[in-house]
Structure formats: C-alpha cells, structure tokens
Amino acid sequence: MTKKDIVRIVSEELGLTQQQTKAVVQRTFDAIIEWLANEERIELRNFGVFEVRQRAARTARNPRTNERVEVPGRKVVVFKPGKEMEIMVNQPRSLNQHSPLFPLGWGAKGRTGSSSAGSPE
C-alpha cells in the first residue's frame, strides 16, 4: 500500500476530493516526523506506538575483509503495534479482508478480484 492508495481509500470513504485528502494525509505524516525528530513518543490507540531509541555503538565485522569496524551509536525509530493491529495481522486473511479497516471489497492487497495487484482502480 502506498500513500496514494491511502489517499484514494480515505477520500472515497469520507467523500472528500483526493487533493483535500492528500493534504490531510501529508500533514499527518509531517506531524509524526516532527514529533519523532523531537524524540517525542507517539501513541495511537488501537494502532501502535512510535518512539525514538538510542542504538548503542558496537563493533561489527566487514564480511569482505573480515576486519573489525566500529559502528557509531545512532537514533532509530521503533514501532510497537497495538493489540488490535496484532489481532488483525494474525487472523487468517479471509477474516480480515472485510474488516472495518478496509471498505467492503478491499483486502490488504487491494480490491478483491482486482486485476492490478495492490492498486485500487
């Protein structure tokens, strides 16, 4: 699924133009990035939690030369899915295909029976 797919689905569900929806979706993504850049934790109920963690420096090995290489510590974004997401992901596909998360006829890969893989028409 791409941002374009999200825009298309949300605009159809809410009756907004794709241009209006794209602006809202993009601003949402921008806000998430801004909060993470400030190392703020983002908790979205029933979806999951995004947070920034510090990865420690470590010693690695160059696979070509077998030489030891120092890898500096860095910040990484981690995501922990919420319970409802984990339940949906772990259900057989036939059960989650017509969930409230997808409009009727939509599955995780696009419209049911669609000829274009993963792309709504």
Task: Determine the Cα–Cα distance for residues 51 and 111; give it in Å rounded to an integer.
Answer: 32
| pTM for the predicted model, two decimal places | 0.66
Please say whether the beta carbons of 47 and 82 come within 8 A.
Answer: yes
Contact between residue 58 and residue 68 where contact means Cβ atoms under 8 Å apart: no
pLDDT tens-digit profile, the chain (121 residues): 999 999 999 999 999 999 999 999 999 999 999 999 999 999 999 899 999 999 999 999 999 999 999 999 999 999 999 999 998 889 887 655 555 555 544 444 444 433 344 434 3
Q: Which CATH number fits domain 43-80: 3.30.1490.100, 2.60.450.10, 3.20.20.70, 4.10.520.10?
A: 4.10.520.10
CB 108 within 8 A of CB 96: yes
